[in-house]
Amino acid sequence: MTRFFFSVLLLPFLGFSQDAQDFDSAFLMGQKEDVISAKHGLLPQVEIAFLQMQRAAKKDSIELKNVSSYRSYAVQKRIWNRKFERFTNEGLSPEKAIQKIIEYSTLPGTSRHHWGTDIDIIDAQPSVEGDVLLEEHFQGNGPYVKLGLWLKKNAATYGFELVYTKDRSRKGFFYEPWHYTYSALSTEFLSSFIEENLIEKIAKDSTLLGSSYLTESFLNHYLEENIKGISIQLKE
């Protein structure tokens, strides 16, 4: 049984009745969707905080838009398999294809988006063609510069922290200025994921392309650099 007593105790004060058993290993690995809000793909407590932040941003002429929140194990596996197939078809070896994938995408079962605490945010007002989740959109004269500055100043007030910061000492996934997490819950979930050693289960899925290359050495390295490679604010 996972240890979420601190986090779960917060929920009754908000009018919810979720219990610790809702947040077991299946939940942590994206295999339990019934505790997630269908509308926003967030846990109820996180949804309330996001909507509060959204209203505050609107007063400053910024329209916060949730473009990605909850992803199930199955969805993350489709993303992984599609990328693995594309990169190997382009000529990369399986090992290099996996390294290319984990620049931005996680192994299914290890995504923070499995928890209903993490959210990819853009400003809905600027018209942006193509991929909206690009670092360049948050730099220079990019359409989301104002959004990035607003979030940097205000997100923590509502309980959200940037996950993959632009910090040279941080390893793992590339910088994602759009990816925020509700830290009061996600820090607990991450601790439980690590303590239960759930990373061991990943390579056992034979339908996951490249699974035979997910050696114990690779998974240990991935745990240390990718899963733990987060903002220092989330480690304090």
pLDDT, average across residues 142-164: 98
Q: How many CA atoms lie within 13 A of 81 on its CB side?
A: 11
Q: For position 91, what pLDDT does the model report?
A: 98
Q: Does the model's pTM come out above 0.85?
A: yes
Q: What are 177-228's pLDDT values in tens digits?
A: 999 999 999 999 999 999 999 999 988 999 999 999 999 999 999 999 999 9
Cα separation of 123 and 67, whole Å? 10
Name the residue among 31, 73, 70, 75 with its Cα closest to residue 50: 70
Domain 14-181+207-234: which topology? Muramoyl-pentapeptide Carboxypeptidase; domain 2 (3.30.1380)
Cα separation of 18 and 175, whole Å? 33
